[in-house]
Structure 1
């Protein structure tokens, strides 16, 4: 649960950074020095910006004749613009240049989370409550140049102060003052925090981890060495299970409607197979087998022995009897072989 409590803090920290109004290169300087301005980033003051910009120029410098880059002074041009000088030496001569600095506009999040003051703990009904009320926030809050209304306060999470059982605090949210969203001086803001849970959950089956002896009767059979024995656990040594009975899958088809759908499904599968490339190939193969059987004749032999003609045709009668079985066996074998080749492709 503590991880869940950290989510509001993460949410606020991400969006609070967007409220930072710092100094960066103006459009013309960025166009001329895109890489240097990107490295310089956004800084708290114009002086910090020119210092960061000079560090970037030094790192990206490819002209071995330019040396000793140094940041100079910044001159304000109104409240949102500044000109910052810097210099370097080339063949022993000092060269001067400058950049334009711009203070970016403030972007305020809709809400911000704030830590409330420490307050006494009230115990009621076996639970702890922080004696703090939302209406105790009477002054607007200024944070990161953004103004938030005291009248919009909404309680977030409450905790015990770390290590205490008599003092706690609550975090709360306040909404942006849309009529006048910016302010000058930081006031009324304290970063939200996480303390100890108001009502810690105690595991009743911890076996006396607090140093006390557990209930000797909660460990099941205390002497057989298998079912608890030492009373450390709430497990009684046996598991109870009731068989729910067998599942009759055939009952799914008992419904007339379901049976119709089942037949339609099977018929559809058969039609799809017959019209597939594999099904057509199998049909042609079977037709060729049948044509081969009908077009051939069984060879016989007639031999004259002592004036008597003896015909050897018993094998034809035997083959006629077993040919359907052989056809089915070889059809199945070739079908399986064809299916294996088809699936392996």
Structure 2
């Protein structure tokens, strides 16, 4: 099938199957249909449940999908972060067990890294995993976790050794979010909605078969996840009219005959297009086996800055009445500052880019060789 035919059939399927508004069950039905039609996991390995197609098909579908409001956000963590980590760092049994249900929307995933005392400095986390026969017992707290209220599984980073420096005593696991020792509590943000959660783990048993990577090598697995997270977040940029601050949406509600307005819309188009092309390049390199490294942080930083720019531009062009009359726009504007925090703050991203992309001198650090138990970090007294 050539790409024109691929686009045509994809558009036909989306027109016939994209629901106007659905809850979690409806989103799962949609995702299952999307997978069965061949449009979920387009470039993922076929042996693990993906479609095994090329980048051209994935780009073609993405171009068509921008025209539709698909009920897929609750799957974004699994598709963009957890699943790719399992493909890269999991074993064959884990891939065979989890990838296909993830792609088909049968199971929802979340990512469990941040803690009350370990946000930007993730390696300072204190959630402990202790050996217990053939498994592990986990106790601790995570916070700012997206979709935890829906999740069946979570990718959790834990501390398994306090006698070594903080980056060297971490281990990654897959945790059953339905375990009776897991408590999920919603956190309401400035939009008035509860997108995030805090999660408490009380004597949660995890079998050793659900460990991802080697014991005490969790930081390297986490770096893989964070790379995919930043690429996934930055790839969310688009000019779809479904976003009330997008170029298409703003063109419908402002005076495009005003040359000053046109100048600002052109700036929005240039920023959006540049980031799209940058993400496309990083995606192609990743699928070709070329590790983008810290440039993923640059993409995430650019998206955060673009999101705030879009929100400010929308308010300036539409006027303050938009925040009173248009609930979607009010939500988008209040949500925008969060992009400068989620997935790593802008300050952290700039530090990573300066250190690892531009080769500037790194910030001085005194904790690289100190055992974690001797550090005074986060909530550890």
Q: Larger % of strand: which? A: 1
Structure of greater relative contact order (alpha carbons < 8 Å, 6+ residues apart): 2
When normalised by structure 1's length, the TM-score is: 0.19
Q: Larger % of helix: which? A: 2
